[in-house]
């Protein structure tokens, strides 16, 4: 880390933890974005500039977590505070709970597959270093070309390997190819096929859940708004790394699905431990379906979303 970066992170940390300033106040004072403040605070904790010790194993929302496990037949659940009027704080809290979930499931894993997700990226950034040299870390899908944003499977594999000491594997393929024929050719490439087969044999899956209100930022390069509207017309309620599913948890077939280079939903379901991280009102319909239809069996979400999910009438949930 450059000296000036280290100094800036230290300044942000002292203003937040010692002087009690909010993210917005710090951003205004230092002329940076609130998102950058959030990232620097995460870096401060991850790099040991800030150390916080809470001498308790009590989870703040244990009752909600137990209710989610019972209602949806889950293996486990983590619930974080909702941000109400502060989306940055909600995202930071979700990342902390996501890091707790990763810290619980990864030490028991031999191989983990990760998918496109900003929430997963933020959780990895909060994860304290683990010593898991035997862990294999694979992408479940291809990645985007162009500027890095930290949330592509390729980047997540690298980040997670760095913090765990595990072995990263990369998939030399796009997330969504230009057309069905191009995608089929990529999937038949021996190197691509080998990585996807290894990812399908993972014992832990870690993914985000996309909603259906609009095309996710990460997918806009390949899926137009008109194509996204067509997916909604076909019944899509959400996606996992561009694999769209309907309200019954089934694949939404069509040209978009044929262009995706990733594990199928059925292959994802075959993995024993399936962790989903998602929060906020725009993700709740998709997250509800993913839980009720057994697409995932471990959840990390916020209080308001957890409460909403528990109040809904569900189809018969598949047990984990």
Instruction: Give pLDDT tens digits for 135-190.
Output: 999 999 998 766 666 788 899 999 999 999 999 999 989 999 999 999 999 999 99
Domains of the chain, earliest start first: 3-47 (1.10.10.10), 62-311 (3.40.50.1360)
Distance CA 78, CA 302 (A): 8
Q: In what order do the strands lie in the sheet with 111-114?
A: 76-80, 298-302, 273-277, 204-208, 111-114, 136-139, 167-168
Higher local confidence (pLDDT), 317 or 211: 211
Instruction: Tally Cβ neighbours within 10 Å of residue 233.
Output: 9
Contacts of 256 (CB under 8 A, 6+ apart): 176, 223, 227, 231, 242, 244
Per the structure block, which two tokens stand in for 104? 């619980």
Rg (the chain; Cα; Å): 19
- Cβ 170 vs Cβ 154: under 8 Å: yes
Q: How far apart are CA 151 and CA 110, in angstroms?
A: 23
Lookup: tokens for 262? 């990733």
- Please tell me the distance from the alpha carbon of residue 44 to that of residue 39, in angstroms, as a whole number: 9
pLDDT (tens digit, 9 = 90+) per residue, 38-82? 999 999 988 889 988 877 777 889 999 999 999 999 999 999 998
DSSP, res 134: T
Phi and psi at residue 241, to the nearest 5°: 50, 50
Q: Which pLDDT score is estimated for 205?
A: 98
Predicted TM-score of the model (pTM)? 0.82
> How far is residue 285's CA from residue 150's CA, in Å, rounded to a whole number?
26
Report the Cα–Cα distance between both ends of the chain, in Å, rounded.
Answer: 42
Per-residue model confidence (pLDDT) at position 86: 61
Q: Quote the CA–CA distance of 214 and 231 in Å, as a whole number.
A: 11
pLDDT higher than threshold 60 for residue 318:
no
Q: Where does the pLDDT of residue 114 fall: very low under 50, low under 70, confident under 90, or very high at 90 and above?
A: very high
- The answer to whether 298 touches 275, Cβ cutoff 8 Å, is yes
pLDDT in tens, 177-228: 999 999 999 999 999 999 999 999 999 999 999 988 765 666 777 888 889 8
Phi first, then psi, for residue 141 (nearest 5°) are -155, 170
């Amino acid at each position: 880390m450059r000296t000036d970066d280290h100094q800036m992170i230290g300044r942000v940390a002292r203003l937040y933890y010692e002087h009690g300033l909010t993210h917005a106040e710090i951003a205004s004072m230092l002329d940076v974005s609130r998102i950058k403040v959030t990232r620097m605070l995460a870096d401060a904790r991850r790099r040991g500039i800030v150390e916080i010790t809470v001498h308790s194993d009590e989870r703040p929302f244990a009752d909600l977590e137990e209710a989610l496990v019972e209602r949806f037949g889950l293996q486990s659940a983590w619930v974080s505070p909702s941000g109400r009027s502060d989306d940055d704080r909600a995202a930071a809290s979700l990342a902390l709970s996501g890091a707790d979930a990763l810290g619980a499931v990864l030490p028991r894993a031999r191989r983990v597959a990760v998918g496109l997700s900003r929430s997963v990226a933020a959780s990895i950034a909060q994860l304290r270093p683990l010593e898991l040299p035997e862990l294999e870390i694979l992408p479940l899908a291809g990645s985007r070309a162009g500027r890095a944003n930290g949330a592509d499977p390729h980047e997540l594999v690298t980040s997670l390997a760095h913090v765990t000491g595990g072995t990263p594997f990369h998939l030399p393929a796009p997330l969504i190819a230009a057309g069905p024929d191009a995608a089929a050719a990529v999937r038949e490439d021996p190197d691509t096929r080998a990585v996807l087969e290894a990812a399908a044999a993972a014992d832990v899956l870690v993914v985000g859940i996309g909603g259906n209100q609009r095309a996710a930022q990460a997918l806009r390069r390949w899926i137009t708004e008109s194509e996204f509207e067509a997916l909604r017309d076909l019944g899509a309620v959400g996606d996992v790394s561009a694999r769209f599913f309907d309200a019954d948890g089934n694949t939404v077939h069509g040209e978009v699905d044929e262009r995706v280079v990733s594990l199928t939903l059925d292959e994802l379901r075959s993995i024993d431990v399936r962790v989903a991280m998602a929060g906020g009102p725009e993700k709740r319909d998709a997250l509800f379906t993913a839980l009720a239809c057994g697409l995932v069996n471990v959840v990390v979400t916020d209080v308001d979303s957890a409460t909403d999910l528990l109040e809904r009438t569900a189809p018969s949930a598949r047990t984990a």
